[in-house]
Amino acid sequence: MFRTLAFLKRIKRPNGTYNFRKATPSTDFPEPLNGFLASQIARKCFRSLPKGYRVPSIRNMSTVASSGTVHKEGAKLLVTAGSHAQKMVGIWLFGSAAWVFSMVVLGGVTRLTRSGLSMTDWKFTGSLPPLAVEDWYHEFEKYKQSPEYKRVNRGMSIEEFKFIYWMEYAHRMWGRALGIMFALPFSYFLRKGYITLQLGLRLSALFALGAGQGLIGWWMVKSGLEEPASEYVQPRVSPYRLAAHLTSAFSIYCGLLWTGLSVVMPEPPAESVSWVCGAAKVKRIALPVSLLVAITAVSGAFVAGNDAGHAYNTFPKMGDTWIPPDVFDLKPVIRNFFENTSTVQLDHRILATATLLSIGTLWWSTRKLDIHPAVKSLIGSIVGMASLQVTLGISTLLSYVPVSLGTAHQAGALTLLTLMILLNHTLRRPSGSLLKSLPQVAKTT
């Protein structure tokens, strides 16, 4: 036992990790201590390991190739009809996630071109667009009764109306097409028996959330068709409802992406106990950083809902000051964080800066850890994407929110969230059977 503790002390790095490459099997791993030593090393990495867990010794290392079978036996598969079915379901889920991503981008374009209030009614099943000239004028007359036309677009031509109408119509029908594209393969896979009960319940919940997304969208649009409280206020949708609509879309996307990754990659990439230990350390930092990224994205929805991007188009100061004097003008004070243009933009600036700094901290604190190359690559990509996203945000603000930059900024938020999901999925803890098959150190070529 004393020899084991001395060995652990000798190979411990200053950052708290263990350098297993310093071990000499013939001297550091005597046969009687193999099981005990392995257990001590494992417990240093996983405090919650079940009692009696034993990691194989250096002499009994299994190769990466031979651990593939254990992957499939130890992981709880969501698709059990073989690798072909697994691939088909994975492609379908990734395709659905990509479709939702395009919906978010199209929704951003629709909002930035002020097209979202052009259709003044809504049907769950949808309807054909105006085809005859009389139909177009009929829709135009309905739009003329809306507050947006009276206060913002008075004097708009029929051709200009057609543009914003087609934008909103395309957004709605693209969402309905997504529902069909999701439901038909889902029914097929269920009938073929490819999908387990756990996966079926998860996908049913995502489908229900997607169906409700249409209702949330109309609930949002309806708020913009109501007369504003003051004649000096431009009509716009409720920031609360817009945030709910965007957050729901982000949630559906994240759910589809995570589920697709779980289908095609039941086990995380783990080729050694050392790498798994490093992943556990990274995860403790990655989880709070991911939460901060998500909160920052939601705060962006309130910036959009309050048109806060059109105020204080300077950086780093907001006008001539760091903090505007009216940040707590509304009563009760909590309203300022969701309805006050100055406060909402200030919050988003602070959250974006904190996100960039936290991601930089994630990279700095993990750069010397012994982790899988895929994890290191993902962290590097996240740092690059976070830097690009902050640059896009500042450029959008200084340029008075052009459609191109505003759309790119919204897409960038979802891209950054995508990378965080990939990172957290890669950092999952392997199954017990896979852990038992891993060598202490990954083999290098």
DSSP assignment of 180-215 equals HHHHHHHHHHHHHT-B-HHHHHHHHHHHHHHHHHHH
Distance, in Å, from the CA atom of 249 to the CA atom of 213, rounded to the nearest integer, reads 7
What residues are paired with 68 via a beta bridge?
Answer: none
CA of residue 425 relative to chain centroid, distance: 11
Enter the pTM of the model: 0.81
Q: What is the pLDDT of residues 2-21, one digit of tens each?
A: 554 555 556 555 555 555 54
Torsions phi, psi for 79 (to 5 deg):
-125, 120
> With contact defined as beta carbons under 8 Å apart, do 270 and 372 qualify?
yes
State the DSSP code for 228. Answer: P
pLDDT for 437 equals 72
CB 280 within 8 A of CB 429: yes
Instruction: Indicate whether 68 pLDDT > 80.
Output: no
Give the whole-angstrom CA distance, residue 21 versus residue 27. 13
The H or E element containing residue 103 is helix 83-112
Mean pLDDT of the chain: 84
Helices (H), 265-372: 273-305, 336-339, 341-366
Scanning 225-272, the segments in alpha helix (DSSP H) are 239-264
Lowest mean pLDDT, pick from 119-128, 411-420, 431-440: 431-440
Higher pLDDT, 274 or 99: 99
SS3 state of residue 217: helix
Contacts of 96 (CB under 8 A, 6+ apart): 178, 181, 182, 256, 260
What's the mean pLDDT in 181-188? 94
User: CA 70 from chain center: how many Å?
Assistant: 30
The residues with which 79 forms a beta bridge, in sequence order, are: 195
Per-domain residue ranges of the chain: 77-266, 269-440
Q: At what angle do helices 158-192 and 83-112 cross, to 10 degrees?
A: 160
pLDDT digits (tens, 9 = 90+) for 80-138: 888 889 999 999 999 999 999 999 999 999 999 999 999 988 877 677 889 899 999 99
Q: What is the pLDDT of residues 405-415, one digit of tens each?
A: 999 999 999 99
Q: What is the pLDDT of residue 365?
A: 93
Q: Rounded to an integer, what distance in angstroms lies between the CA atom of residue 252 and that of residue 209?
A: 7
Q: 185 with 139: CB under 8 angstroms?
A: no
Is the predicted pLDDT of residue 149 greater than 60, yes or no?
yes
CA dist list (Å): 423 to 229, 426, 432 = 46, 5, 21
Between 81-85, 279-283, 354-358, 388-392, the lowest mean confidence (pLDDT) is in 81-85
